[in-house]
Structure 1
Amino acid sequence: MKIRYVLLHAYGVGGTIRTVFNQAGAMAALGHDVEIASVVRRRAKPQFALDPRVRLAPLVDQRESVAADSLGRKVWRRLRGKLVPRGEFAAEYFTERVEKAVIDYVSALSDGILVTTRPALNLISARRAGKHVVRVAQDHMNLDAYPEPVRADIARYYDRFDAVVVLTRGNQLAYRELLPRTPIVRIPNAVHPAERMSAQEHPVVVAAGRLVWQKGFDLLIPAFGQAARRHPEWRLRIFGSGPKKERLAELIESEGLTGRVSLMGRTGRMAEELAGASIYALSSRFEGLPMVMIEAMGHALPVAAFDCPTGPGDVVTPEVDGLLVPPQDVGALAAALDRLMGDRELRLRIGERAARTARGYAPEAVMPMWEDLFSELLAHEPIMDTYWTDPSHPARRGSRGR
């Protein structure tokens, strides 16, 4: 079968890019004809490894003219395209030129499967893709996280899709309420198994993600500070880059945590960093499905996380393979970190169960679901509600009715 994925920036860094690369590689390994279209290109090479059998096709090369094609919010009102709503998180990318390139790409397809990967691209596909193309929309975030203009367009146009694929049970229920006649399928992201487990030898808490408001590092830093008063040997390492770096650095200093909390920037050695740590902290205000958290669990790291919408609660069983606390409750997160810091046996017990849960997200468990879904769609068979619903599976706890 022919499968075409569309990413905003396949040459960038992020969980969606890595996930789509993994999906595309798995489909190519099964003998399918696979292409990834990158709406923009701002680097010479992709930052993640891509199976050589997958074609990578940039639509708008901005390496020499980023300033001309992404002029910022002040010019956005004049140059923006017509299909992408302003509230979309990447709306500033979609100038008239960029939007037209996507429209030309999707409208030229005459067969196969088209998979789009964020609301902006989904909306263009819904409105402009050819009638003989099977259209699949992916949501790597969650419906409630989007501003009202985006949700309004989702409600208006997503019923044109052959299927909408989401990551969590909570998001599946939200979409089904909004789009009762559209197949809403839940398939989680695949996470490759860890090769090395944490030995719980180093007093290190790890967190990772873009340094943006969503990830809540401004909440994690004071929470760690409260817990660390009783555990002076512990350190917090935050991996990632982003626009909040300077403000977070100021917060670290104002909390008196200089030397104990470090902004580590990006790393190509995340697996080694996780294996060398003893706790993973997730402080997000909202999530899709937190891949790095699942990777950390695969390294037998206990997790302390906000039970934010959505994601952590679809993966973690409280007190079994992690600790969940109320969203944005700094004191509760501090207490969870304090418990784990002070009890190595607890960390070992929870970490062992966390590794067991993470194995349920291995590619061999997830990728057949994609091939089955695509085959059913191409055959115009009814989509059965059997994807990721077995409650006995260690990674399928989203069906427990949270």
Structure 2
Amino acid sequence: MKIIYILKSFAQLAGTERVMADKINYLAQKGYSITLITYEQGVHPLAYKLHPTVKHIDLETRFFTLQKHSLLTRSFYYIKLKRLFRKKLQGIVNEQKPDYIVTTTYSLKVAKDILRAKYNAKTIMESHINHDSLIKHYEFKKKDINRYFFLVYDKINKNTLKKYDLFVSLTEKDATQWRMSGIKTKVIPNPVTNYPKEINTNKKSNNRIIAVGRLNHQKGFDKLIEAFSLISSKYPEWRIDIYGQGELERELNSQIIQKRLEGRVVINQPTKDIYIEYLNSDFLVLSSNFEGFGLVLIEAMACGIPVVSFDCPYGPNEIITDMKDGILVKNGNVNQLSEKMEWMITHKVERTEMGIQARVSAKKYEIKYIMSIWEELFKNKLK
């Protein structure tokens, strides 16, 4: 069976790239013929190692470079790049004659072009972020003229998504939103990258909280830092390690200094060995304003550490059973987040028991279980 995956790029050490690498490698190991097509990769190396049988092709249609031009010039080159994208993709599809073409909502701008080039392949659109984050008109007030423009924009995109043979969402609540627009949607959660065979349930506390994600508005690390500042003086031996990079790094470091938390809250570069960091931590905090799923939750839980998470849309409340394998906090409530972090700090026995249960809860996300759903779909022609 031949499958083409189309991604904007495969250069960041981030959750989506890690998940896509895991799925692609799993299928390649099972004997599927996999081609990964990127179109904005450029000279950047691949973020994660791919199975040697996976073929990677970059179309060299870097749409992001158009931002430096004026609107008129940008429009001209945008049309030119779109034509080049279609021509190159069509050539590959005609040559390989794939059974399936899979892409993600991060490639929404070329979604219609992929449909035009599909040959006889079945098409699948994966969503790695929630419905409301993709619908742009929600960002504007009702009387804002831009809202009406983006209402049309959103309608066009939804009509395109309806033409895909299947839309895959990560959570039930998100899937409900897409189905209301008449889009054929199936829920398939992300797989956990690694499920350690054994963990040390009697390990000594490292007095360490971990947080993982891009340093942007979505991940809400400013709220995490604020919450920790409310209790940090009471627990001077405790610290937070954040792993990520992004546009808010300088702003977050300034907040750390302002709160006098230097050395207590540390921003680290992303690492390919994040599971080592999970295993050396006592619990994870997810402070996101919104999520598509919350991959870091099941990663941490698989390592036997409990989680404290905002009950943000969507993902956490479908993954966490409150006070059993983690703790859910009212979305955006910094004071409550601080209180629940303190509970985790001061209840070592309960925290350990919660971590053991978290590992049990995460087992259903093992890649062999999640990928069996994908394989069944492929074999049954998406039925």
Secondary structure, counterpart of 1:267 in structure 2 = coil
The verdict on how the C-alpha distance between 1:21 and 1:96 changes in structure 2, with shifts beyond 3 A counting, is farther
Of residues 9-18 and 184-193 in structure 1, the stretch that sits farther from structure 2 once superposed is 9-18
Cα deviation, residue 105, structure 1 = 4.1
Conserved 8 A contact 2:115-2:164: no
- Select the residue among 202, 212, 232 that pairs with 1:208: 212
Contact 1:300-1:354 at 8 Å conserved across structures: yes
Q: Which amino acid aligns with 2:120?
A: H
- Which residue is equivalent to 2:104? 117
| TM-score, normalised by the number of residues in structure 2 | 0.88
Helix, strand or coil at the partner of 1:136:
strand
Partner residue in 1 for 2:18: 18
**Which of 292, 296, 302 is equivalent to 1:292?**
296
Query: Separation in 1 of the partners of 2:174 and 2:74?
Result: 29
Counterpart-to-counterpart distance in 1, 2:87 and 2:171: 32
CA 200–332 in structure 1, closer or farther in 2 if over 3 Å, else same: farther
Identity %: 27
Deviation at 1:158, TM superposition (A): 1.0
**Matches of residues 185-334 of structure 1 in structure 2 within 5 Å?**
185-191=186-192, 192-195=194-197, 197=199, 199-334=203-338
Aligned residues: 360
**Segment drifting more, 71-80 vs 368-377:** 71-80
Verify the 8 A CA contact 1:200 1:348 in the aligned structure 2.
no
SS in structure 2 at match of 1:229 = helix
Change (3 A) 1:76 1:140: farther
Contact in 2 for aligned 1:37/1:59 (Cα 8 Å) = yes
Which residue matches 1:133? 121
Displacement of 1:200: 5.0
8 A contact 2:179–2:185 mirrored in 1? yes
Distance 1:137 1:194 in 2: 30
Q: 2:42 & 2:106 partners in 1: Cα distance?
A: 21
Whole-Å separation in 2 of the counterparts to 1:100 and 1:202 = 55
CA contact (8 A) 1:223 1:333 kept: yes
1:334 Cα deviation after fit: 0.5
Match of 1:27 in 2: 27
Equivalent position amino acid for 1:78 in 2 = L
Q: Contact 1:125–1:135 (CA<8 Å) still a contact in 2? A: no
TM norm structure 1: 0.84
What is the deviation of 1:70? Answer: 3.6
Q: Secondary structure at the match of 1:178?
A: coil
Matched-pair contact (CA < 8 Å) for 2:125–2:164: yes
Structure-1 separation of matches of 2:377 and 2:317: 25
In the other structure, the counterpart of 2:87 is 104
C-alpha offsets along residues 22-55 of structure 1, whole Å, 9 cap, x if unaligned? 1111112222111000112234531211111111
Residue matched to 2:160: 157
The CA distance in 2 between the partners of 1:128 and 1:76, in whole Å, is: 29
Contact in 2 for aligned 1:7/1:37 (Cα 8 Å): yes
Q: Tell me the residue number matched to 1:392.
A: none
Letter in 1 for 2:102: V
